[in-house]
């Protein structure tokens, strides 16, 4: 009989969001008259920017002609999109990232997992706690952790707690780690990091020859001009960091699928003999072997994000969701909740009432208000006692959900 990858057996019973869906489905089946408002999963709700729709429509028509038809595209992404990304997202902010250092993909969730393909199994890895579950689960799946401990953490991982006491800023590890995952603006807490604090991480990584995996999927929601949008705004970061970006939240591409990963050409690791190995070449080889690229039609849609009309429409989407976050903050604070995040990210992170666990509060909101959020403990041990609400929904639903919560 075929043998299975037993690392999967270490995982908790289910991924966080399917578990939420299961509970919500059970509730709605038992209460057919309920009108549940979902503020849990970070999925967008507003239509795609018209500029993107127009560009994809034109690309589709182009594909229906002999002259315009496209077959397999470059695994790294079309040069015209990579160049637009380089100029608009990096060079405009003083980051010297070339188009060749940008790899277009179908999602930053996928890339933050797939990057492990080019990294050794014996690296010591640090994650923040709470954390986006994919960072932990993919390391478990690939055998980079030990067994599950009673508190739900995994042997072999270094956990960096982020909470009220440290203003949701992870502390630099006291010992050397090889790889550290950072996500700012942070999912799930909505916290951000200043250039001064991020510089400390870059300095640590350079000193210890560590690699930072920097998830900037929510950078477009930053409102504060003093907050960095990219780790490459920090001097030295090209020598120690890989950055993940996405079109999912800013342009609403969650169902369209387009993202990109930045791997600087001078970024290196080493083999078992201590020889320097170029990470760019390894990732390029990995993509050429395991990935056939994002469709031409989707990439034309992503390119339209950088048109003058596309920029206006994307900014309008961001403003819409951030207004939702502001409404949520104000309403929840007026009801006596401690509220964090929501200023530079589309997530509001709240302290649950005393004597409730985060899953207790999940059930409480579902049963008393027909509102779905995400329990903080689903993001890790330090997330217990907190709860995430997403600003991704219609204005009507956000207003109604807040009224339901404050009137329980």
The model's pLDDT over 316-338, given as tens digits with 9 standing for 90+, comes to: 999 999 999 999 999 999 999 99
Per-residue pLDDT tens digits for 287-318:
999 999 999 999 999 999 999 999 999 999 99
pLDDT score for 218 = 98
Question: Which pLDDT tens digit goes with each residue over 123-171?
Answer: 999 999 999 999 999 999 999 999 999 888 999 999 999 999 999 999 9
User: Is pLDDT above 70 for 212?
Assistant: yes
Residue 34 has pLDDT above 90, yes or no: no
Q: Which two tokens stand for residue 313?
A: 């429409």
For residue 13, name the pLDDT band (cuts at 50, 70, 90). low
Number of neighbours of residue 278 by Cβ within 10 angstroms: 14
Q: For residues 52 and 75, give the distance between their C-alpha atoms in angstroms, rounded to a whole number.
A: 22
Q: Cα separation of 189 and 342, whole Å?
A: 9
Q: Is the pLDDT of residue 357 over 80?
A: yes
* Model confidence at 72: pLDDT above 70: yes
- Average pLDDT of every residue of the chain: 96
pLDDT over 70 (residue 388): yes
CB atoms within 10 A of CB 407: 9
pLDDT of residue 31: 86
Quick check: 344 pLDDT over 90? Answer: yes
Is the model's pLDDT at 380 over the cut of 70? yes
Say what the pLDDT of residue 33 is: 67
Say yes or no to pLDDT of 7 above 90.
yes
pLDDT (0 to 100) of residue 398: 98
Query: What would the mean pLDDT of 97-123 be, rounded to a whole number?
Result: 97
SS3 167: coil
pLDDT, residue 15, reads 64
Both structure tokens of 316: 């309008």
**How far from 386 is each of 240, 327, 339, CA to CA, in Å?**
32, 19, 10
Query: Percentage of the chain surpassing pLDDT 70?
Result: 99
- The answer to whether the CB of 377 falls within 8 A of the CB of 384 is yes
Identify the pLDDT of residue 105.
Answer: 98
Name the token pair of 390: 């997403």
190 phi/psi in degrees, rounded to 5: 75, 5
HSE-up (13 A, CA, CB side) for residue 106 = 14
pTM of the model: 0.96
The answer, yes or no, to whether the previous bond of 70 is cis (omega within 30 of 0) is: no
**pLDDT of 14 over the 70 cut:** no
Q: Is-contact 294 105, C-beta < 8 A?
A: yes
């Amino acid at each position: 009989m075929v043998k299975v990858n037993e690392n999967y057996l270490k995982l908790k019973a289910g991924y966080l969001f399917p578990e939420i869906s299961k509970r919500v489905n059970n509730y709605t089946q038992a209460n057919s008259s309920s009108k549940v408002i979902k503020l849990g999963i970070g999925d967008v709700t507003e239509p795609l920017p018209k500029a993107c729709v127009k560009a994809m429509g034109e690309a589709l028509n182009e594909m229906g002609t002999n002259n315009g038809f496209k077959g397999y595209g470059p695994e790294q992404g079309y040069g015209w999109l990579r160049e637009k990304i380089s100029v608009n997202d990096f060079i405009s902010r003083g980051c010297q990232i070339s188009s060749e250092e940008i790899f277009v993909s179908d999602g930053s969730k996928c890339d933050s997992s797939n990057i492990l393909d080019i990294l050794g199994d014996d690296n010591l890895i640090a994650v923040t706690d709470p954390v986006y579950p994919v960072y932990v689960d993919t390391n478990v799946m690939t055998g980079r952790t030990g067994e599950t401990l009673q508190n739900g953490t995994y042997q072999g991982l270094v956990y960096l707690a982020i909470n009220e006491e440290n203003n949701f800023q992870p502390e630099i590890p006291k010992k050397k780690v090889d790889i550290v995952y950072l996500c700012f603006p942070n999912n799930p807490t909505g916290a951000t990091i200043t250039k001064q604090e991020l510089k400390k991480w870059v300095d640590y990584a350079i000193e210890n020859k560590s690699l930072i995996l920097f998830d900037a999927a929510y950078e477009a929601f930053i409102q504060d001009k003093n907050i960095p949008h990219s780790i490459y705004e920090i001097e030295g970061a090209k020598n120690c960091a890989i950055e993940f970006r996405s079109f999912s939240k800013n342009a609403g591409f969650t169902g369209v699928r387009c993202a990109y990963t930045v791997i600087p050409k001078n970024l290196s690791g080493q083999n078992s003999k201590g020889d320097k190995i170029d990470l760019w070449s390894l990732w390029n080889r990995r993509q050429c072997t395991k990935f056939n690229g994002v469709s031409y039609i989707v990439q034309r849609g992503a390119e339209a994000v950088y048109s003058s009309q596309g920029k206006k429409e994307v900014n309008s989407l961001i403003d819409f969701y951030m207004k939702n976050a502001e409404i949520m903050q104000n309403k929840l604070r007026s009801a006596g909740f401690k509220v964090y995040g929501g200023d530079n990210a589309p997530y509001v992170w709240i302290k649950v009432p005393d004597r409730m666990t985060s899953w207790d509060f999940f059930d409480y909101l579902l049963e008393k208000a027909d509102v779905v959020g995400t329990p903080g403990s689903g993001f890790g041990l330090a997330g217990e006692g907190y709860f995430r609400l997403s600003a991704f929904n219609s204005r009507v639903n956000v207003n109604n959900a807040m009224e339901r919560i404050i009137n329980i």
